[in-house]
Amino acid sequence: MEFFIVSTIKALLVFFVLMTTLAYLQWVERKVIAHIQLRQGPYRVGPHGLLQPLADVIKLITKEGIVPPHVNKFFYFLAPIIAVSMSLIAISVIPFGGEIEVFGITTHMQLTDLNIGLLLVLALASMGTYGIALAGWASNNKYSLLGGLRSSAQMVSYELPLSLAIASPLLLLNTLSLREMVTQQEGFMLGFLPNWTIFQGPAPQLVGMVLFLIAAFAETNRIPFDLPEAETELVAGFHAEYSSMKFAAFFMAEYSNMLTAAAVTTTVFLGGWLPALPGMAGDLIAPAVFATGGAVCLYHGLNPARKRDKYTLPVFALVFFGLAALFLAPPLKDIAMPLFWFGAKTGALLFVFIWIRGTLPRFRYDQLMGFCWKFLFPVAVLHLLATALLVALAG
Amino acid sequence: MPEGYVPLFIFLAVAILFPVVALILAKYIRPDVPSRVKLEAYECGIQTASDSRARYTVRFYIIAILFVIFDVEAIFLLPWAVRYQVLGWFGVAEVAVFLVVLAVGYVWAYKKGALEWI
């Protein structure tokens, strides 16, 4: 019974954190893209547009939802539900940290650790295709159908390099459980180089990670692979006939897939919640980062550029100093430290996702398929074989 | 370890309930004033001429068939990778034979032009 209650609390906690992250990921994306393009991005709702995600939720939920008469009703409503639920539950096997003790209960900072964790993530990634293909078919709209077909073909094609690229680190780790993967990457080589799969001997997986990330970009329909919703040719692709909350569901699914891809890359290739630096240096980075943030805020609060900075910035400084103290207090440290490293690595990968969206143009469809089948797939197979040979030679 | 799946199903229930509840909730909040023009198919404002589920290029089918062949291969490689250190050189030899057979199929498909997108 206690197990059940703890699991439910953990599930709800993870769910709400996930929802907030998704909402703010969208804000971060708009801000970063805006600054890449020398714009300001969201600025009106709240300070620096920080309340924009909330405003968007209210807008989406109060918009008129148009259900055209020509759609296949059942599948039309089923598609966004499949897309969003399947993308959300993939996060349940991702470990955010090690074992912790809260109110006398010992538990892991992970919803559940399955011995088929990675397979489950791959399976859920393919389930997402159903949502999009069904949406395209059920909409009974030519653009939607084309978008849905393109998307299904693209996603099944890129699933091959995706699963082959993730098979090569498995040769080193020899487990499918994501928690065990992280514990196997513990420690440091030569005293400073973390023992993550991208550095680990005898076969560093840097190429594997790049292959996996490219395939993940295509799986999540991100630029430069966002052909399913190429707005210049297909209006909005598979979700052209979707509005209000139904559209929001697809939107959420896309961001959730992106988050899952980044989290899986972190766990498999970048050592999950493990620190990047050994000993004291690794422990001090997090408080140092937040303390620097606090110091900067305090400095600008004491030399205010605008009138209101005199009051708002010292408050932010206090918040930052509080966060820094959190990493130094012994009982909270064990919770905060893994979260910091996991968040830092995942956040860096998400930034790469956004950065590439702001940098690269879109592929043409024949280039997209040719790239997958003629380049990425054979390279992934060869990489897997090379890794296997290196591991076998090392004994 | 079946109890490991309990939290997964709890989370699945939450993840399915969330969009369902959101969709139903939005139905009561939002305005609903459909009109004939609003309900037309969104196809650049031109009157829809035919049903959308028309014929489309056979390329999609070829990709689907190729996917089935090579995805089964990828799925076979995952358990092999997990047990790799136990299998040793025997595992290397076995998977080499397996991949050579598939490589022949891949080269044949390439030569036939199945991977070209016209």
A35-66: pLDDT as tens digits: 999 988 888 887 778 888 888 888 888 888 78
Band of pLDDT at residue A346, cut at 50, 70 and 90 = very high
Give A89-153 as a 3 state SS string. HHHHHCCCCCEEEECCEEEECCCCCCCCHHHHHHHHHHHHHHHHHHHHHHCCCHHHHHHHHHHHH
Buried residues in A111-146 as b, exposed as e (16+ CB within 10 A): bbbbeebbbbbbebbbbbbbbbbbbbbbbbbbbbbb
Chain B contact set for A140 (CB, 8 A): 41, 51-53
* Mean pLDDT, residues A233-253 taken together: 80
Q: Can you tell me the distance from the alpha carbon of A260 to that of A245, in angstroms, rounded to the nearest whole number?
A: 22
- The whole-chain average pLDDT of chain B stands at 82
- Which residue matches tokens 């393009």? A37
Provide the token pair at A103.
């109110």
Range of the domain at A259: 63-274+329-394
- What span, in angstroms and rounded, lies between the C-alpha atoms of A296 and B88? 56
**Predicted confidence (pLDDT) per residue in A168-227, tens digit:** 888 888 888 888 888 888 878 777 788 888 888 787 888 889 999 999 998 888 878 877
CA atoms of A196 and A205, how far apart (whole Å): 9
pLDDT tier, A262 (very low <50, low <70, confident <90, very high otherwise): very high
Is residue A219 domain-shared with residue A267, that is, in the same domain?
Answer: yes
Chain B residue closest in CA terms to A156: B67
* Contact check, Cβ <8 Å, A141/B11: no
**A234 and A124 share one domain:** yes
Give the pair of three-digit tokens for residue A395. Answer: 């004994």
User: Cβ contact (<8 Å) for A175 and B19?
Assistant: no
A106 and A223 belong to one structural domain? yes
- Output the pTM of the full model: 0.89
CA distance B61 to A224: 24
pLDDT tens digits for range A276-328: 887 777 778 888 888 888 888 888 888 877 777 777 788 888 888 888 888 88
pLDDT > 70? residue A25: yes
Q: What is the pLDDT of residue A111?
A: 78
Quote the CA–CA distance of A164 and A127 in Å, as a whole number. Answer: 18
Q: In angstroms, what separates the C-alpha of B112 from chain A's closest C-alpha?
A: 13
Q: Look up residue A364 and give its DSSP letter.
A: P
Residue A219 and residue A134 share a domain: yes
Assess if residue A324 is contained within a domain.
no
- Asked, for residue A170, whether it belongs to a domain, the answer is yes
pLDDT above 70: residue B83: yes
Number of domains composing chain A: 2
Q: What is the pLDDT of residues A264-273, one digit of tens each?
A: 999 988 888 8
Choose one of A62, A83, A105: the last residue of a domain: A62
A127 and A186 in a single domain? The answer is: yes
A261: in domain: yes
- The predicted pLDDT at position B44 comes to 67
For residues B70-90, give the mean pLDDT: 84
Last residue of a domain, one of A62, A77, A104: A62
Residues A116 and A235 in one domain: yes
Do residues B24 and A77 lie in contact, with contact meaning Cβ atoms separated by under 8 Å?
no
Higher pLDDT, residue A228 or A127: A127
pLDDT at A181: 87
- pLDDT band at A379, cuts 50/70/90? very high
Return the pLDDT at A352: 92
- Whether A304 is in a domain gets the answer no
Block residue for tokens 């989290």: A263
Are A32 and A100 within one domain?
no
Q: Does one domain contain both A138 and A20?
A: no
Task: Using the 3D structure, point to which of A62, A90, A113 is the last residue of a domain.
Answer: A62
As a residue count, chain A comes to 395
First to last CA, chain A: 46
- Please report the pLDDT score of residue A230 as a whole number: 67
Let me know if residue A282 belongs to a domain. Answer: no
For chain B, domains (ranges, CATH) are 3-112 (1.20.58.1610)
Neighbours of A318 (CB within 10 A): 14
Q: What is the pLDDT of residues A134-147, one digit of tens each?
A: 888 888 888 888 88
Task: Report, as an integer, the average pLDDT of A252-265.
Answer: 90
Question: A24 and A134 share a domain?
Answer: no
Which of B30, B20, B14, B38 is closest to A58 using CA atoms?
Answer: B30
Q: Which residue of B has its CA nearest to A94?
A: B8
- For residue A339, being part of any structural domain is answered with yes
Bigger pLDDT: B34 vs A385: A385
Contacts of A366 in chain B (CB under 8 A): 116-118
Task: Report the candidate in B84, B31, B52 with the shortest Cα–Cα distance to residue A384.
Answer: B84
Give the mean pLDDT of B61-80.
Answer: 86
| Cβ pair B16:A370 closer than 8 A | no
For B89, residues 6+ apart whose C-beta sits below 8 A from its C-beta are A392
Asked if the structure places residue A16 within a domain, the reply is: yes
Higher pLDDT pick, B61 / A108: B61
Give pLDDT, residue A105: 75
A57 and A143 belong to one structural domain = no
Q: Which of B43, B63, B115 sits opposite A153 (nearest CB)?
A: B63
Q: A249 lies in a domain?
A: yes
Task: Select the more confidently predicted residue: A208 or B34.
Answer: A208
A202 and A96, same domain (yes or no): yes
Looking at the structure, do residues A55 and A67 belong to the same domain, yes or no?
no
